[in-house]
């Protein structure tokens, strides 16, 4: 009984933070416009939108074929808290000496609606997409 209880607490705590997090459906076309307006393409390349190239010549590819779903939880995190998890392959080039992401912080200028639309656009650019928008307990 004791072990079951604490085992349960441990397992549930793994996903505790993400539970109950659900975005409304966004507008892909709007998201694409916002991607350009916010100049994401200074550092990112994505199919159909030209990479502008910034001072650091960072070129982090977004979209394309992925082996695992990009959930909107991951994408939202990548945008509003980029240093939380650094994209695979960009630990050296994409981070500062302190190991923080070189990505611009948009949190003061981006509206929540823009974030929702942007995430919908990005999701549509990955070949394996559409996470369940309802509650899905097993990850």
- Give contact residues for ligand HEC (rule: CB under 6 A): 35, 38-40, 42-44, 54, 58, 60, 62, 75, 78-79, 82, 86-87, 90, 94, 101-104, 106, 118, 122
Output the six-digit token pair for 17. 């933070």
Q: How far is the CB of 76 from ligand HEC (least distance, A)?
A: 9
Q: How far is the CB of 35 from ligand HEC (least distance, A)?
A: 6
Output the six-digit token pair for 124. 């549509």
Q: How far is the CB of 34 from ligand HEC (least distance, A)?
A: 7
Of 19 and 91, which has the nearer Cβ to ligand HEC?
A: 91
Q: How far is the CB of 23 from ligand HEC (least distance, A)?
A: 14
Q: How many residues does the chain have?
A: 139
From residue 98, alpha-carbon distances to 51, 101, 103, 116, 134 in Å are 26, 9, 13, 30, 37
Of 17 and 81, which has the nearer Cβ to ligand HEC?
A: 81
Q: How far apart are CA 92 and CA 101, in angstroms?
A: 10
**How large is the greatest C-alpha to C-alpha distance in the chain, in angstroms?**
60
């Amino acid at each position: 009984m004791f072990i079951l209880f604490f085992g349960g607490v441990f397992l549930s705590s793994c996903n505790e933070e993400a539970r109950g997090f659900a975005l409304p459906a966004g507008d892909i076309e709007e998201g694409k416009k916002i991607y350009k307006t916010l100049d994401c393409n200074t550092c990112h390349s994505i199919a159909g939108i030209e990479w502008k190239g910034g001072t650091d010549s960072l070129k982090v590819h977004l979209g394309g074929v992925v082996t695992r779903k990009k959930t909107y939880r991951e994408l939202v995190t990548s945008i509003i808290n980029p240093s939380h998890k650094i994209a695979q392959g960009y630990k050296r080039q994409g981070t500062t000496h302190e190991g923080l992401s070189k990505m611009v912080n948009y949190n003061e200028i981006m509206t929540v609606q823009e974030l929702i639309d942007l995430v919908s656009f990005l999701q549509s650019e990955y070949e394996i997409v559409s996470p369940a928008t309802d509650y899905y307990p097993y990850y």
